[in-house]
């Protein structure tokens, strides 16, 4: 016996009064205010990228005359100048390779250590987990500039200045607490029944993490990986202090060479910014759904 079908045109959810209330709310004052705020936020987010792209297509003289890039002469030579680099510096390709190597090494260490720490916090008792989490939050509140001199002295003592290994360890150390706190929320949302079933099947903690928890937490891993990549790709303070030789600099530090004390090539600088920003934007667009699912999974607990 089949259930009676709803007549064509009938309301499926709620009565006419409920439908009218929902329609009034959608087109009420709050709806327009929220829509206007979304448009303003979109403009604030998109306009800097569009302005940067426009400025990369103008010579330096026109950039000073037209700061928004809406007028003046259009050129493409800025990208060639940016790729060659400045006199006395390294080409942009060297900076890109250095950034990729540093990102791979620091993410491998930071995501691994942070995920293991997050899993330990999720499995620990509530009191211990909260206490350790508060310590991590307190450490994150300390400005990075405070650690510049101690970090410089420490890496100099072990001959790790101007090296991929040294800067990678620094970035991994500073991203690990953030990754641990995020992954703690992600792992806490995993049903404990799955872990208990894994123990019945003979899995230990590490085996349960690798075979049970990781496959259903890939959204969280993608999220923390992208966050770590953005941090490494754009970090400047430690790079300026710890990477003094041009051939060892990362992309964000190498772009500063276009801003000299007496001469500044603004066109090449903005072209380099476009080249540096483009890969991150593409990766975020590709993995956006994983980032959204990872944030949602962590927020459900």
CA-CA-CA-CA torsion for 159, 161, 166, 167, nearest 10 degrees? 170
Q: Which two tokens stand for residue 163?
A: 């090296």
**Is 187 in contact with 119 (CB distance < 8 Å)?**
yes
7: Cα separation from own chain's centroid: 50
Beta carbons within 8 Å of 160's beta carbon, 6+ residues apart: 166, 169
Q: Is 259 helix (H, G, I), strand (E, B) or coil?
A: strand
Write out the E strands in the chain. Answer: none
- Report pLDDT for 271: 92
pLDDT one digit per residue (tens) for the chain, 301 residues: 454 555 554 445 455 555 555 555 556 778 788 888 999 998 888 888 898 999 999 888 888 888 877 877 888 899 999 999 887 788 999 999 999 999 999 999 999 999 999 999 988 888 899 999 999 998 888 888 889 999 999 999 999 999 999 999 999 999 999 999 999 988 888 888 888 888 888 888 788 888 888 888 888 888 899 989 999 999 999 999 999 898 999 999 999 888 776 668 888 999 999 999 988 889 888 887 776 665 555 444 4
Rounded CA separation 146/108 (Å): 25
**Selection from 245, 276, 70 nearest residue 268 by Cα:** 276
pTM confidence score = 0.82
Rounded CA separation 236/99 (Å): 12
- Report pLDDT for 204: 81
- Report pLDDT for 15: 56
Task: Produce one character per residue of 213-224: b if its CB has 16 or more CB atoms within 10 Å, e if not.
Answer: beeebebbbbbb
Task: Note the pLDDT tens digit of each residue in 1-43.
Answer: 454 555 554 445 455 555 555 555 556 778 788 888 999 998 8
């Amino acid at each position: 016996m089949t259930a009676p079908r709803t007549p064509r045109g009938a309301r499926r959810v709620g009565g006419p009064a409920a439908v009218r209330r929902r329609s009034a709310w959608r087109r009420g004052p709050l709806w327009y205010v929220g829509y206007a705020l979304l448009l303003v936020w979109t403009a604030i987010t998109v306009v800097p990228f569009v302005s940067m792209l426009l400025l990369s297509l103008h010579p330096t003289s026109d950039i000073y005359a037209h700061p928004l890039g809406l007028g003046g002469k259009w050129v493409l030579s800025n990208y060639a100048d940016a790729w060659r680099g400045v006199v006395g510096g390294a080409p942009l390709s060297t900076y890109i390779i250095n950034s990729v190597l540093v990102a791979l090494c620091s993410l491998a260490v930071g995501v691994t250590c942070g995920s293991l720490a997050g899993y330990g916090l999720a499995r620990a008792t509530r009191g211990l987990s909260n206490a350790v989490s508060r310590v991590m939050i307190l450490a994150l509140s300390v400005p990075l500039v405070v650690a510049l001199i101690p970090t410089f002295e420490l890496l100099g003592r072990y001959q790790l200045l101007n090296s991929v290994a040294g800067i990678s360890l620094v970035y991994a150390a500073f991203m690990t607490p953030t990754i641990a706190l995020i992954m703690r929320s992600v792992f806490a949302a995993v049903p404990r029944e799955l872990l208990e079933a894994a123990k019945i099947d003979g899995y230990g903690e590490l085996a349960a993490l690798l075979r049970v928890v990781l496959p259903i937490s890939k959204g969280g891993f993608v999220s923390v990986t992208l966050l770590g990549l953005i941090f490494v790709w754009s970090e400047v303070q430690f790079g300026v202090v710890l990477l003094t030789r041009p051939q060892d600099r990362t992309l964000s530090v190498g772009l500063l060479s276009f801003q000299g004390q007496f001469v500044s090539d603004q066109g090449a600088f903005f072209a380099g910014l476009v080249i540096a920003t483009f890969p991150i934007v593409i990766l975020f667009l590709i993995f956006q759904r994983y980032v959204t699912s990872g944030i949602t999974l962590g927020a459900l607990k």
